Chains A and B, each alone.
Chain A
């Protein structure tokens, strides 16, 4: 069974940093491009970026460049999203995904 489980979310202050994790199982993690997608409350889906199977290349949506960093540890079957200088607009549920499967999501709330 394919599973993607995100963690690391919560309430954070504006300007702070936060690192989300996504642990996967049920497929060969090191074979897949991995993505992060977010969804603001009551809104649609927004692509953040993706990382190559071996971790050598990342691509970010233009609007996400600069404050988000995607990385992975294939030995731990884990994907990461480092968020910096967070703003209220970053309040959202963050999903890790491959083309065919999505995690259950983790909520990040940016508020003072």
Chain B
């Protein structure tokens, strides 16, 4: 299975500060289709996961543009340009290139 390693485990940031979360995979996530199926989701406290980003850098329509994703092959980053109160929760990266799909262990974002 592809191992997804996320860092840091947790972040404590004030509103307005930038955030950066790293996700590294044990194998390249570039698929035979030429696409990289690396995604990000957010699980707010007491809720189910919600979609954020797909194929490394593509934001879903409802996601604010303060979020961005980047990376390639085995190294990926989620950035929030200016953290807002609603951004608290646990962020997970997950890959869908190789079966079985696997998740990172999560990064908990707390608001100071």
Q: Which residues of A are at the interface with B, using a C-beta cutoff of 8 A?
A: 35, 44-47, 49, 59-62, 95, 97, 99-105
| Contact call B48/A46, Cβ cutoff below 8 A | no
> What is the count of residue pairs linking A and B with beta-carbon distances less than 8 angstroms?
42
Q: How far is the CB of A61 from chain B (nearest CB, A)?
A: 4
Q: Which of A35, A62, A102 has the most CB of B within 10 A?
A: A102
Choice from B50, B54, B96, B105 contacting A44 with Cβ under 8 Å: B105
In the bound assembly, the distance between CA atoms of A100 and B58 in angstroms comes to: 12
| Contact call A44/B60, Cβ cutoff below 8 A | no
By a CB distance below 8 angstroms, the chain A residues around B50 are 102
User: Is B106's CB within 8 Å of the partner chain A?
Assistant: yes
User: Given that A59-B99, A99-B54, A100-B60 are contacting pairs, would A44 and B92 also be in contact in the complex, using a CB cutoff of 8 Å?
Assistant: yes
User: Is B94's CB within 8 Å of the partner chain A?
Assistant: yes
| Contact call A100/B48, Cβ cutoff below 8 A | no
Digitize B70-112: 1 where CB-to-A-CB distance is under 8 Å, 0 elsewhere: 0000000000000000000000101010011111111000000
- Can you report 28 residue pairs joining A to B where beta carbons are below 8 Å apart? A35-B101, A44-B92, A44-B103, A44-B106, A45-B49, A45-B92, A45-B94, A45-B103, A46-B103, A47-B100, A47-B101, A47-B102, A47-B103, A49-B100, A60-B100, A62-B100, A95-B48, A95-B49, A99-B39, A99-B54, A99-B96, A100-B51, A101-B51, A102-B41, A102-B49, A102-B50, A103-B48, A104-B48
